[in-house]
Amino acid sequence: MIATTFSAKLGLRLPVIQAPMAGGPSSQELVAACSAAGALGSFGFAYTQPDDMRKQAAFVRSKTDRPFGVNLFVAPQPVAIDAGAQRGALEAVARFYRELGLPAPEPVRAPYAPDLDAQIAAVEEIRPGVFTTHLGVLPRDQVQNLRNKQILVGGSVTCVAEAKQLEELGVDFIIAQGGEAGGHRGSYLRDPYAALTGTLALVRLVVRAVKLPVVAAGGIMDGAGIAAVLALGAQAAQLGTAFIPCPESGAPQIHKDELLRRTEDETCITEKFSGKPARGLANRFMKEMERSPQLAFPAQNKVTGVLRQASGKAGRPDFVAMWAGQAAPLSRALPAGKLISMLEAEALAAVQATAGLLRS
């Protein structure tokens, strides 16, 4: 068994967090299975309405008494974008809609995402073991209010400046998201394209810059990766892509299949699906939309939503947002519980092998 102060505080069998993946992969079944197996299952509730948040949390509690996490995007929403200003972004995707036999895309209306205050109120009611933020920070009073309810609060960072700000706001831990990570870049103080420091370097920099526990995220797919970031001073590892092929994951089957098919790093960062930079498996949409106009986040997410769903249902990877980290070729199609057991065995083996090398 591998334990850290952080994992022991949460009662985890392994210092591993199943990354909160919004938009489907972090299904209630996956969260329940990961928590029951001794990791920290996590919901990505960025686009989830409060009532559904409560229902999904209740499902997990019906399956296990172990802790789970909830994550929200806290980036500010743009003011309402009039139909005329949306014309270019809609025209850019119209041909893809036609190709899939969909009606022409229509202008999207505000609000473009669920009300954040209502989501926070739902978190306070749910009282998960852990709550984390992405794409920004909460005010100090909200952080303290959540902590007063015995919720461990953390946030994602992509640079040392963001880590220091979170520490000043009084959070309990920090997630250092390296440039290899799949999904949305958590940057909010720097240009996301200038904040792509690799996981190993970023973890070490953040560990030395703050006094809080640090969780490593980005490109970690097996036990050896977990052991590596623990050796750098991380208190836990957060894995997202590794859990997408699990049968419990809510990702489209084509997303799972593509992860298992790729043999090299074929990921790139795009803003065209949601309006903010995110890393995923390269596909036709990313390439053909590279120079096309887009709406601000999260309005662009509404523009592409119907297209992504239809492409997934048709078994076509062309227009699906297949978020994935750079180590995607290490993916394994295993039930979540079995994968977590393998991660534990691999991490122990890696630690023992390293100790043997040091002794020799």
The answer, yes or no, to whether residue 251 has pLDDT greater than 90, is yes
- What count of residues does the chain have? 360
The answer, yes or no, to whether residue 359 has pLDDT greater than 90, is no
Tell me if 92 sits within 8 A of 286, measured CB to CB: no
**Tens of pLDDT along 159-214?**
999 999 999 999 999 999 999 999 999 999 999 999 999 999 999 999 999 999 99
Return the percentage of the chain with pLDDT > 90, whole number: 95
**What local confidence, expressed as pLDDT, does residue 23 receive?**
85
How many whole angstroms separate alpha carbon 301 and alpha carbon 324?
Answer: 17
Start-to-end C-alpha separation, the chain: 24
**Tens of pLDDT along 120-167?**
999 999 999 999 999 999 999 999 999 999 999 999 999 999 999 999
Omega of the bond leading into 298 within 30 degrees of 0 (cis): yes
Taking residue 76's Cβ as centre, other Cβ atoms within 10 Å add up to: 11
If you average pLDDT over residues 319-332, what whole number do you get? Answer: 98
Measure Cα distances from 172 to 212, 244, 277, 303, 306 in Å. 7, 27, 27, 36, 38
**Tens of pLDDT along 45-104?**
999 999 999 999 999 999 999 999 999 999 988 889 999 999 999 999 999 999 999 999
